[in-house]
Amino acid sequence: MKDQADADRIDVHDFRHALKLVTEKRETAHYRNKKGLRCPACRRPFERLFISEKRHNSFDPNAANPFCIRHESDRVLVFTH
């Protein structure tokens, strides 16, 4: 039985028609939003989605567009706008 944190876990395979895989590594994946999917945090369409199962993640502030973060039990999802 899934716990509550995983009950609404985002399954990218459910959005395969709308997300283009840009890069995939062992613990990270990077997608481009092809169909205007909405960010679960702010409900605006996002441009890119970065998913990481790593404990620590660094981002370049010079590349920072507005972004939203979603925490799940074993990973973090970053939506850039």
Question: Sign of the CA dihedral 77, 66, 55, 19?
Answer: positive
Interaction mask 2-41, Zn ion, x per CB under 5 A: -------------------------------------x-x
Is residue 42 within the footprint of Zn ion (CB under 5 A)?
yes
Candidates 18, 37, 68, 78: give the one binding Zn ion (CB under 5 A).
68
DSSP assignment of 35-79 equals S-PBPTTT-SB-SEEEEE--S-----GGG--SEEEEEETTEEEEE
* Least distance between Zn ion and beta carbon 19 (Å): 15
Single-letter amino acid code for the residue at 16: R
Give the interface with Zn ion as residue ranges (CB under 5 A).
Answer: 39, 41-42, 68, 79
